[in-house]
Chains A and B, each alone.
Chain A
């Protein structure tokens, strides 16, 4: 167990090193310096010590990049978490059903939904969704993160928590307003996630259903609910979590695109505006923040998986 954790920490260090090199090269490029002019090892050490002290430079309009980036990414993460919870609640039961009764009529229906969800371009679905409030007559906001009448102080960066903390200012109105702004974007993102989770769950469940211990459990006369809860799900979940971890960077990419369509302040809008204003110092900051988050989260999930499934302990590499 200690061996496994030390291996993962080693991996974390090496990957963090490679990431900082990429960020350093980007920062050098955006400052307009070429590497041959100066001693780049000294430059790299200077850059890293500046990063570690929290001095990430400032953008063109004189705002601190570190705070800007963290706030933007927290907003993206909020969208991802909400959509993920919604999608998991809908998709996992559907996926279990489809995997449990392969080639059933409902299985075909569920898999068709999953195929459609995978094939629809996500930004197009977002554009179509912005038409929905006008066509159906429901009043839902389609752009912005929160109404400009609320001035919520930034504490954690997660707007939902901030609005709850600022309850003495606006009661719960700001919170509901934020929820309404997140409603349509999270529906679009969870549509993609539902398709993905259904596919992963079904594949994982069908693999487990073929194994011998399930046949043995059948022969012992276990009821179906007991079979699913005690045998199938326990063995299928680790590989579902593992596959979803690999999808994390895709999910964040899609969240960023959706933010741009709904002009929801977040990492996507921040990066797009920075590139359009030719403020390229945002790029190394984004690499460090977003990829650093994905890296830490992956290691965390790996250790979590090792705790719940002993089979993983043998694997040498992250795969």
Chain B
């Protein structure tokens, strides 16, 4: 067999490719990634895949799921007390809850990174005022601040999203701030500074590659909290109104039916559980890949 030892053409992988190659070895994380992608696809294309229209009412009320005696195949997960298809309402709920949480995580992370980085890289009175103000906002429990905002602006889906993002933003800013602050004292950052790097360059090439791991777990935490809080507010009746229902409101509307048809309460809860679980496993795998990539 002819083996060419002299011209070993190993291409040097980019950091992204390298992280991906480590991530690929983790089977559970790959499976979670695909489920997460499917969930995101459901959110984007929910309008096209709904089996029924959410407001259509049929005469068969409180149908059980298809696989239980008395279920029909037209309504795979049964119907609710007004004869509306459960699967349709569940998909709509996933669209509102998960879509809202994804949008919110995106906005919070962009705003939070900008404010946090500015606060960490400026000195003096401005930083101090921001610091104390954030401290005060952090000690108000998220549910309380969400309730205050909703009392002021009135309950609606948009206000619910704004309330949750305003209560999560201080947490994100604070975490980013601490991470950058810790990095700033390290010697390679000081070396970069001595080279005359401007703040943007310092952030892009010095700080962000090194706080990637904590960024991933931070994003995961903000996303999980966003899902749980949007559905909690919906459950308390401060989220979506009338026909549009997200998962928490679905649970709240069928609490009275918990003994006659428990699946109306079970399915939305399981949906929230699966969403949070899948995204957690996915980001945990990603975090491990980033750590391993840094170690080797």
Contacts and interface: CB of A to CB of B under 8 A. Distances in A.
A298 B139 CA distance: 9
Contacts of B148: 26, 283, 287
A280 B148 CA distance: 9
A271 B139 CA distance: 17
Nearest to A18: B136
Interface stretch (B56-64, B77-85, B107-115, B228-236): B228-236
B143 A256 contact: yes
B232 A249 contact: no
Nearest to B145: A287
Interface stretch (B33-41, B191-199, B272-280): B272-280
A26 B149 CA distance: 10
Interface in B96-151: 131-133, 135-136, 138-144, 147-148, 150-151
Contact of A260 (B152, B236, B269, B277): B236
Given A15-B135, A18-B136, A283-B151, A127 B255 contact: yes
A127 B265 contact: yes
Interface residues of B, number: 42
Nearest to A267: B144
Contact of A115 (B151, B266, B277): B277
A131 B258 contact: yes
Interface string A267-278: 010011001000
Interface string A112-152: 00011011111111011011001000000000000000000
A271 B277 contact: no
Contacts of B147: 271, 275, 283
A272 B131 CA distance: 31
B17 to A, nearest CB: 27
A28 B178 CA distance: 35
B140 A14 contact: no
B143 A257 contact: yes
Give the residue among A127, A280, A318 with the most B Cβ atoms within 10 A: A127
Cβ-closest 7 pairs across A and B: A124-B269, A18-B136, A253-B143, A119-B276, A249-B141, A119-B277, A253-B141
